[in-house]
Chains A and B, each alone.
Chain A
Amino acid sequence: MALRELASLEKYLGLKKPNKYSTQGDKKVPVLQNNNAPPLVGLVTIACHLAKEAKRPELLGDGAEGRAVVQQWLEYRVTKLDGHAKEDTRSILKDLNLYLQDKVYLAGNQFTLADVLMYYGIHAIVLDLAVQEKEQYVNVARWFDHIQHHPGVRHHLPPVVVLRNRLYTSRHH
């Protein structure tokens, strides 16, 4: 899973030569073997490295605050989202929905690596949502739809239909 994600990320970043990855441990943590440097371990570490290699430092956030927010969401992705218990799905969506209420991207107005990796990570959840639930987590759905249409991001993942019209407008029924 993580390896396909990294391959898609490479394509998005426009890296010409695809890297070779291996995995380590039961949790299949991705490992990038570097020719003239020690190996890099972990999804976020490798992803940040790829962004630097592609000379796209802005994807890691602008300014100290921006960079911190991006790191925070990257961490959220691998600690909270990955391998979360099924009963936590609702609370994750609820929190994210509240957070995204006044934001275009996770880091505010700027598209970053956090958006890409959160999109990859949450895709399976959003794919399973019923139309009514997507409407319930409307901010998540809006952000998700925006990211999946961001040029070059989607790659290995199927598109998810997000309706623009509200169907369940009233509280009742």
Chain B
Amino acid sequence: MTKEEVNGATEDEQQAQSKKALKKQQKEAEKAAKKAEKQAKLAAEQQSADEDDFAKDRYGLSAMVQSQQKLDRVLVRVQDLTPEKVDQLIWLRARVHTSRAKGKQCFLVLRQQQFNVQALVAVGDRASKQMVKFAANITKESIVDVEAMVRKVEQKIESCSQQDVELHIERIFVISQAEPRLPLQLEDAVRPDGEGEEEGRATVNQDTRLDNRVIDLRTTTSQAIFRLQSGVCQLFRDTLTNKGFVEIQTPKIISAASEGGANVFTVSYFKSSAYLAQSPQLYKQMCICADFDKVFCVGPVFRAEDSNTHRHLTEFVGLDIEMAFNYHYHEVIESITDTMVQIFKGLRDNFQTEIQTVNKQFPSEPFKFLEPTLRLEYTEALAMLREAGVEMGDEDDLSTPNEKLLGRLVKEKYDTDFYVLDKYPLAVRPFYTMPDPTNPKYSNSYDMFMRGEEILSGAQRIHDAQLLTERAQHHQIDLEKIKSYIDSFRYGAPPHGGGGIGLERVCMLYLGLHNVRQTSMFPRDPKRLTP
């Protein structure tokens, strides 16, 4: 091709282009004109429609509730919408979970906590066209007050928790409007891993969930998890109270670290520094020395370990027990295991709905336990592990993989997800642990495991000031700093033992979840301080 030809070609092209562009402009102008016309028409229609909207008092944005009136209105709970309520006119406050408009009708799913119900606005003598349109345009997650007739449905509504009825809306008012764009979709957040992958549906990753925790907590799964968690606390309190325990409150700002100085948070305390308590250990023991006999304590516990694992948090809720016993620390073990069993039973009997809900998103086998609880000694556990080909020294601590493997071996042999491992090597336990009387290499200490992961660490404590001093020195602890603790054993101290459980871990392992952040409402870890 010669240069000229090239030029010619481009000129032609340019001409063609400009022609095209001209046409395009024209078209656009036409389009815009049409649009404007349409809009004007629409607006006119709207106006005339508004004027003759017979239902305009039946819907709208409600004024901000500033407590200006006390209405005599009874708001029915979504969970109470059963066939018994059929043909009743009721009021209800709920969130708009989803809405779907279809011609002259608009279907809404109204949600209240983990319950939801289908509602319908249809053009008729109660609702106008404009009202249906308004209902369809309510943003997801907005809170609405609804007056509706409860109607029986012929076919069960599979997607809702209230399957036998639907609501025929007669009035609908928005109490609180949500912004149109949500940071995450609730349906995406409850989708089980792997499901809907073919359709290219999204799941929400953990960090996004936690960044928008308020919305994530609205999901049925989260609702169920934290209801169950509340149940754990309540069962813990009820069981121990029935056993004659006293609930105590202990300070969280303390002057010395209770178990080794490495993993404590230091806070500035006026002109000196203080620590955040790693456990209420010292205080619950002092309560024993003060004749409280059996105590427990539910409260925050802090660990400054920089470990970013699925089961470590820097702040968690500790359920702590300490009790005086008569002759053998197994009395303590029995008391704690019985408490745990009561919790498991309570959850199994009273929280089946919650368990099923969580299972839908995170499937797991039902939690199994024995009565009385299985107690293995450390040496037996080592033998089981060695038989499975694990090489371990007699006084080595259990590594996490070995802990999990042991859990599997125990499950296979005894069919239980909960067991006690007794008689740990003294070397791997804190200084206040009572040595074993027959073999000084071992100790009167124990861990408890759920699904192969540790949930409780406990022991008989040294209640003799002299021995306690020796052991503290052996661990190279500054005696000055723990003087008040040691002194409390000088004026008569009963033999005692106890243990501490992590609430989040218990919930996680009971439900067979894989990350402790799922069972912590606002988790704290080395990388997360908000929300």
Does any Cβ of B come within 8 Å of A37's Cβ? no
**B412–A161 CB distance below 8 A:** no
Does any Cβ of A come within 8 Å of B89's Cβ? no
Output the least CB separation between A173 and chain B (Å).
5
Taking A161-B388, A168-B408 as given, write out 7 further A-B residue pairs in contact, using a Cβ cutoff of 8 Å, ordered by the A residue number.
Answer: A130-B401, A131-B388, A166-B412, A167-B411, A172-B363, A173-B365, A173-B512
Decide if the interface of chain A is mainly helix, strand, loop or mixed: loop
**A131–B408 CB distance below 8 A:** yes
Does any Cβ of A come within 8 Å of B389's Cβ? yes
Question: In residues 114-173 of chain A, which contact B (Cβ within 8 Å)?
Answer: 130-132, 160-161, 163, 165-168, 170, 172-173
CA distance A173 to B411 in the complex (A): 13
**A165–B412 CB distance below 8 A:** yes
CA distance A85 to B76 in the complex (A): 66
**A170–B388 CB distance below 8 A:** no
Does any Cβ of A come within 8 Å of B405's Cβ? yes
Sampled A-B contacts (23; CB under 8 Å): A130-B401, A130-B405, A131-B388, A131-B389, A131-B408, A132-B405, A160-B389, A161-B387, A161-B388, A163-B388, A163-B389, A165-B412, A167-B405, A167-B408, A167-B411, A168-B408, A170-B365, A172-B363, A172-B364, A172-B512, A173-B364, A173-B451, A173-B512
Report the number of A-B residue pairs with Cβ-Cβ less than 8 Å. Answer: 31
CA distance A160 to B389 in the complex (A): 7
Question: In residues 336-369 of chain B, which contact A (Cβ within 8 Å)?
Answer: 363-365
Output the least CB separation between A169 and chain B (Å).
8
Question: In residues 442-496 of chain B, which contact A (Cβ within 8 Å)?
Answer: 451
Question: In residues 399-415 of chain B, which contact A (Cβ within 8 Å)?
Answer: 401, 405, 408-409, 411-412
Number of B interface residues, CB 8 Å? 14
Residues on B with C-beta less than 8 A from A161 are 387-389
Number of A interface residues, CB 8 Å? 13
CA distance A91 to B401 in the complex (A): 23
Question: Which of A130, A160, A167, A173 is in CB contact (< 8 Å) with B412?
Answer: A167
CA distance A130 to B409 in the complex (A): 13
Residues on B with C-beta less than 8 A from A168 are 408
CA distance A161 to B364 in the complex (A): 29
> What is the 8 Å Cβ interface bit string for chain B, positions 205-227, against chain A (1 contact, 0 not)?
00000000000000000000000
Output the least CB separation between B80 and chain A (Å).
34
Output the least CB separation between A152 and chain B (Å).
23
Residues on B with C-beta less than 8 A from A167 are 405, 408-409, 411-412
Most buried by B among A132, A163, A168, A173: A173
Closest B residue to A167 by CB, please name it: B408
CA distance A167 to B365 in the complex (A): 14
Closest A residue to B387 by CB, please name it: A161
